[in-house]
Amino acid sequence: MAEITFNDVMNDEYVKMLLDTADKNFAAIGYNEHGLRHAKLSSSIAGNVLSYLGYPKRDIELAKIAAYLHDIGNAIDRHHQALSGAILSKRILERLGMPYKEILSILSAVGSHEEKDIIPNSHITAAVILGDKTDVHFSRVRSPKSEGLDKHTRVNLSCKNSFLRVDAASKTISLELTVDINVIDIGEYFEIFLERTMLLKKAAKYFDCMFILYINGNKFL
């Protein structure tokens, strides 16, 4: 039997419907984009992390699949979306014919990516966290105006460019952000994203790498 690929999952009509529904649910309450764009970018970043760190091609493919599916649970329930996403992912991957060993590695990543106190238990989980949590960008914000927006949304609105740099030689994983301080100041950024930054540090540590945050060229962590 042929291996299930990222393209198989991405082109699945049910997966497309789940991502579309998840994003519409978020749009209805004014939250940032959590649909196709976020899924694709998270998947690309997760795959790149493992690629630059020298992992096998199949592991890279599984990380891309896990990152693509990580938010589908929002189509069901925002408050328990990681668990809902894992259940949905299991059924999808079973239907596609993926071996259970691979399914379990994906379910672990999808089901734990939102846990605040998680210590990543696999390279796939760590890659998904890095893919998901580094997607900070103004294009995720549905309203172009900063007035009346919560701080979490204004952080995304302020970010004009973001890039995750993986350097295997120096054992560093760096998130480089270009932020408009007229929208939000650096103090507010850390007020909102300190927890996320700590999670990124844990994910980098799994790979025996140091996580570094740069904002407007200045090193903060």
Position 12 in a domain:
yes
How many Å apart are CA 60 and CA 131, to the nearest integer? 12
And the tokens for 110? Answer: 């999808």
pLDDT mean across residues, the chain: 89
Is residue 148's pLDDT more than 70? Answer: no
Residue 48 lies in a domain: yes
219-70-82 Cα angle (round to 5): 100
> Looking at the predicted structure, is the pLDDT value of residue 15 above 80?
yes
The reported pLDDT for the residue numbered 143 is 66
Q: Is 161 in a helix, a strand, or coil?
A: strand
Question: pTM (2 decimals)?
Answer: 0.92
pLDDT for position 29: 77
CA distance 39 to 56: 22
State the CATH number of the domain containing residue 213: 1.10.3210
Residue 206 domain boundaries: 6-219
Q: Is 57 exposed, middle or buried (0-12, 13-18, 19+ CB in 10 A)?
A: exposed
Confidence of residue 181 (pLDDT cuts 50, 70, 90): confident
pLDDT of 116 above 80: no
Give me 31's structure tokens: 């939250």
Count of CB atoms within 10 A of residue 34's CB? 24
Asked whether residue 187 is assigned to any structural domain, the reply reads: yes
Residue 1 in domain: no
Whether 163 maps to a domain, the answer reads yes
Domain count, the chain: 1
Tokens describing residue 66 = 């896990």
Residue 112 in domain: yes
Asked whether residue 147 carries a pLDDT value surpassing 80, the answer given is no
Percent of the chain with pLDDT over 70: 93
Contacts 24+ apart (CB under 8 A), 55-59: 55/123, 58/3, 59/123, 59/124
Q: Is residue 132 part of a domain?
A: yes
| pLDDT for the residue numbered 2 | 75
- Quick: pLDDT tens for 61-98: 999 999 999 999 988 987 888 899 999 999 999 999 99
Is residue 148 in a domain?
yes
* Neighbouring C-beta atoms of residue 85, cutoff 10 Å: 28
